[in-house]
A and B are shown apart, each in its own frame.
Chain A
Amino acid sequence: MSWLCAFWRSSIGGKLTMAVTGLLLFGFVVAHLLGNLQLLGGQEKLNAYAKMLHDLGSLLWVARIGLLLIFVLHIVTAIRLSRSNRSARPVQYAKSATLQASFASRSMLFSGLSLLGFVIYHLLHFTLGVVHVDEVAKKGADGHDVYSMVVASFSKAPVAAAYIAFQVLLFFHLQHGLQSFAQTLGLHHARYTPMIKSLAFLLALVVAGGNILVVLYPSLWLAKGAA
């Protein structure tokens, strides 16, 4: 174990931890998106999906605890690396310049910490039902009408706007994170690196765009259907 700890504490060990846990979290985000998209299939489809997840029982808890551990490792490592980066430059430049660092790469800590806040809000909202209690009440007595709960929540402009804003942050975070994954694992090639960067951009766009579509669905499609 001490060998593993020493590796984690090394600069490259830390980077590798960020890359691997980041990729696993990306996998979760993709799975979550596929779940979200069930909303577009209508009330029965989404509720059936939610029931299927709940019926997993203890398996669901294994997944939740695993996910939590990955999340904690990603965040703890990020904080350790950021602190070491801060301390590596005790005096700042009077005049600083940025030549080619992307906006996404420079805002990783900001987007990451904001997303942590969002995840907490999101869990309090839909999973624990502590905030926006009115909409969550639509879940019904049997607790399986996820569809009505989601539609009621996203029909409110401030809630929808907040979710969309965080998806924009997720887009930037994923865009830099996914291309960094390749570089950290040592994949760098004159031909493939530009392709990896384009792919990272595309995947981040698909995930954030897909989620935004779900958020907008109640106000765009359902409202139109009602009218």
Chain B
Amino acid sequence: MKVKLHIWRQSKASTAQNFAQDGKMVVYELDNVSKDMSFLEMLDFLNDKLTREGELPVAFDHDCREGVCGSCGIVIDGIPHGPQRGTTTCQLHMRSFKDGAEIYLEPMRAKAFPVLKDLVVNRSAFDRVVQAGAFISVSTGAPKDANAILVAKDAAEKAFDAATCIGCGACVAACKNASAMLFVGAKVSHFLHLPQGQPERDRRARNLVTAMDKEGFGNCTNQNECEAVCPKEISVRVIAEMNREFVRAKLREEPPSHKRVGGDG
């Protein structure tokens, strides 16, 4: 099959002052594409051709190519990860497109995700959010018996639904406001339903939301575009849970001046 690709080419990394840099959409015609190629194999095929013609290959992120690492995430025709629901870019195949199709490839567009080159964006903002509280603190020592803490099946499933997040950033890319609330909501929900998440529950909600706000993401307006593009099909339920958790944690927060009985010792 034959495809006409419109690809965002940007040689210099985005800065706060100049986000688009020299970036522009460039058209490439590609023939002899097999419909059994994955989308990334099609790009490999294009890059091979570009390299042989003495042009710079198109930079794009990828790693596992089996839909679990969260590295890939090209915005294809305005949809992060492309037209197939619940699928990462690497798991998308050219049979999802018609012969002769015009396909638009763009990087994820968000102030918090500066473009490094072409289709590659810097998603460190997600790492900083995770470092702010998307974890549980565990004492070192001998591992505990796996079944020592009972978890109800419903709770385990809710936690697991949130834990399937691969941090690809598609939710931010799809959101009309470039909000990261599905991602951060997933981190809150992941621990909320588990007994291990309880001791740090309030602090986690406060710190995650504060870290998210600091990165310059937008705000959720409940349009649910994130849910529609999430390759792991995480529900906006996690956003509702995050809203609830943040408000609860803020209400329970004691003023910094508050002295506890017995002092700090």
Task: Assess whether B225 is in contact with A101, with CB atoms less than 8 Å apart.
Answer: yes
Q: Mark A172-197, 1 if CB is under 8 A from B, else 0.
A: 00001001100111111110000000
Interfacial chain B residues near A184, Cβ < 8 Å: 222, 240, 243
Q: Does B201 contact A (CB under 8 A)?
A: no
Task: Assess whether B228 is in contact with A99, with CB atoms less than 8 Å apart.
Answer: yes
Interfacial chain B residues near A87, Cβ < 8 Å: 111, 216
Interfacial chain B residues near A95, Cβ < 8 Å: 6, 77-78, 104, 106
Q: Does B94 contact A (CB under 8 A)?
A: no
Task: Assess whether B109 is in contact with A99, with CB atoms less than 8 Å apart.
Answer: no
Task: Tell me the dominant secondary structure on chain B's binding face.
Answer: mixed
Whole-angstrom CA separation of A17 from B77 in the bound complex:
35
Using known A-B contacts A85-B179, A99-B174, determine if residue A91 contacts B221 with beta carbons closer than 8 Å: no
Interfacial chain A residues near B209, Cβ < 8 Å: 10-12
Task: Assess whether B111 is in contact with A90, with CB atoms less than 8 Å apart.
Answer: yes
Instruction: Identify which of A106, A108, A183 gathers the most chain B CB atoms within 10 Å of its CB.
Output: A183
Task: Assess whether A91 is in contact with B219, with CB atoms less than 8 Å apart.
Answer: no
Interfacial chain A residues near B92, Cβ < 8 Å: none
Q: Does A81 contact B (CB under 8 A)?
A: yes
Min CB distance, B22 to chain A, in Å? 12
Q: Smallest CB-CB separation from A98: which chain B residue?
A: B225
Using known A-B contacts A84-B219, A99-B79, A100-B225, determine if residue A91 contacts B177 with beta carbons closer than 8 Å: no
Interfacial chain A residues near B228, Cβ < 8 Å: 99-100
In this complex, how many residues of chain B approach chain A with their Cβ under 8 Å: the count is 53
Q: Smallest CB-CB separation from A108: which chain B residue?
A: B221
Instruction: Identify which of A3, A92, A100 contacts B109 (C-beta below 8 A).
Output: A92
Whole-angstrom CA separation of A16 from B239 in the bound complex:
13
Instruction: Identify which of B8, B181, B243 contacts A185 (C-beta below 8 A).
Output: B243
Whole-angstrom CA separation of A214 from B44 in the bound complex:
65
Interface residues of A in 145-194 (CB under 8 A from B): 176, 179-180, 183-190
Q: Interface residues of A toward B: which range?
A: 35 or more
Task: Assess whether A105 is in contact with B79, with CB atoms less than 8 Å apart.
Answer: no
Task: Assess whether A15 is in contact with B225, with CB atoms less than 8 Å apart.
Answer: no
Task: Assess whether A186 is in contact with B112, with CB atoms less than 8 Å apart.
Answer: no
Interface set of A (CB-CB < 8 Å, partner B): 3, 7, 10-16, 81, 84-85, 87-102, 105-106, 108, 176, 179-180, 183-190
Interface set of B (CB-CB < 8 Å, partner A): 6, 8, 19-20, 23, 25, 75, 77-79, 104, 106, 109-112, 174, 176-179, 181, 209-210, 212-213, 216-225, 227-229, 235-237, 239-247, 250, 255
Given contacts A7-B250, A88-B178, 19 further A-B contacts (CB under 8 A): A10-B209, A10-B213, A11-B209, A11-B219, A81-B219, A85-B218, A85-B219, A87-B216, A88-B177, A88-B218, A91-B23, A94-B25, A100-B224, A183-B239, A185-B243, A185-B244, A186-B241, A188-B239, A189-B237
